[in-house]
Amino acid sequence: MTSRQAPLCGLAPRCLWLLGAVLLMDASARPANHSSARERVGSREENEILPPDHLNGVKLEMDGHLNRDFHQEVFLGKDTDGFEQDAEPRRSRRKLMAIFSKVDLNTDRRISAKEMQRWIMEKTAEHFQEAIAESKAHFRAVDPDGDGHVSWDEYKVKFLASKGHDEREVADKIQNKWDLNVDEETQEVLENLKDRWYQADNPPPDLLLTESEFLSFLHPEHSRGMLQFMVKEIIRDLDQDGDKKLSLSEFISLPVGTVENQQGQDVDDGWVRDRKREFEELIDANRDGIVTAAELEDYMDPMNEFSALNEAKQMIAVADENQNHCLEPEEVLKYSEFFTGSKLVDYARSVHEEF
C-alpha cells in the first residue's frame, strides 16, 4: 500500500452498540454519537502505543461514530489555546477574528467556500504532521533494539506491558511460545490488532513494520490501503443485510436499548438527526440512498479536495444567516461554538471592537 505524506485503525469494534448501551443507562451521559476531547486525551495517555479511536481531521471515529470535534479541528487546527470555557471573552473574540482574517485570503471580510476549503486542507495538513511526529516517538518506544523495524512480538510485549502485565515475563512467554494467560477481552483486542498489523505490512509480508508502515498502523488516514481497511471495518459493523453497503436506516440505527425519559429521547433524536444529515448531504455522493465503500472512503479521506469543498459549503451554511454563501465576521462570532467549541457572548457589539 502507498503511504500518503503531508501536507498533502483504534479498532473498528466488533460490538459497535456497546457504547450506546452504556450511554442509555444514564440519560445524562454524552450521546454515543459523540466523543469528548478530554475523554480521548485521558485514554490516549494510558495506551500511547494503541492505535487511537479518534483521528484528528477525519469525519468518523474508528467505531463509526461521528467526530464531534471535526469542525473545530479543521477550523482551529492545533491553535486551540484561548477558546477554553473559562477563557477571557475579549481575548477569545480577538483571536477568532484573527483566524477569520487568515482564512479571508482576499481581505474582503467574507469567507467564501473556496477560501474555507483551502483553510480546511491547510489545517488537515497540520494534523498530518502532528500524527507523523507522534508516530515517530511511539515507534522508538516499541523498537528497543533500534534496528528500524518492529516485529509483531515486540509490539505485543509493549502493548501487554501497557495493560499492566510484566514486560520481562511476557517477553519470556512469547520467546518460549508459552500461553500468555490473558483475559478474553485482551485476546480479542490482540487478534484485531494483528489483523491491522497485517494490513499495514507492505508486500512481501514479513510481520516487520518500518517506521512508515507503523505510521499507517496507528493512523490509517496516512495510507490508502489502511483507509480502505478502516472503511471495510466500519461497513462490516453497520451493515445489517450483508450487502457490503450502507442504507440510510443502517447508518442511523440507534444503539441497543431504550430510554424512558425525555432527556434520553433527545439523545436518540440527536443521533438520528446528525447522522441523517451527514448521510444525505455529504456521504451519499450520487444521492441514490445507498453508500458504497468508495463513497465512504472519499468522505473519510481527509485530503480529498472535493470532500473538503463540500465540508466548507456545509460549514458556511450553518452560520450563513444572510444567505450570501459566505461567512461574515458577525456570523462567525454568533456561531462561535460551532467553530471553536466556545460560545462567545455579545457577538454583535464585539465585531466593532475587534475590527
Residue 251: predicted pLDDT: 95
Query: What interhelical angle do 184-200 and 152-162 show, nearest 10?
Result: 140
Mean pLDDT by groups of 10 residues along the chain of 355 residues = 44 37 35 43 53 90 90 91 80 93 97 98 94 93 90 94 94 95 94 94 90 95 93 94 96 63 61 92 96 96 93 95 97 94 60 49
Classify residue 87 by burial, with Cβ atoms within 10 Å: 0-12, 13-18, 19+: middle
In this structure, the answer to whether residues 135 and 154 fall within a common structural domain is no
Q: How many domains in the chain?
A: 2
φ/ψ of 151, rounded to 5, equals: -85, 160
Please report whether residue 273 resides in a domain: no
Q: Is the peptide bond before 52 cis (omega within 30 degrees of 0)?
A: no
Residues 6+ apart with CB under 8 A from 262: none
In this structure, the answer to whether residues 178 and 195 fall within a common structural domain is yes
Q: Is the peptide bond before 329 cis (omega within 30 degrees of 0)?
A: no
Query: What interhelical angle do 305-319 and 293-300 show, nearest 10?
Result: 70
Q: Which three cell numbers stand for residue 160?
A: 501487554
- Report residue 109 CA to chain centroid gap: 31
Final residue in a domain of this structure, among 187, 220, 253: 220
Closest CA to 56 of 32, 45, 33, 40: 40
Please report whether residue 19 resides in a domain: no
Residue 264: predicted pLDDT: 52
Residue 254: predicted pLDDT: 66
Please report whether residue 212 resides in a domain: yes
Please report whether residue 214 resides in a domain: yes
The parent domain of residue 176 ranges over 146-220
Q: Report percent pLDDT > 90 for the chain.
A: 65
Please report whether residue 56 resides in a domain: no
| pLDDT digit string, tens, across residues 142-162 | 997 889 999 999 999 999 999
Residue 208: predicted pLDDT: 95
In this structure, the answer to whether residues 123 and 186 fall within a common structural domain is no
Cα end-to-end distance, the chain, whole Å: 49
The pairing of strands 208-209 and 150-151 is antiparallel
pTM over 0.85: no
Residue 277: predicted pLDDT: 93
Please report whether residue 277 resides in a domain: no
Please report whether residue 52 resides in a domain: no
Whole-number Cα distances in Å, 120 to 248, 285, 316: 27, 20, 12
Final residue in a domain of this structure, among 204, 220, 236: 220
Final residue in a domain of this structure, among 170, 190, 220: 220
Please report whether residue 110 resides in a domain: yes
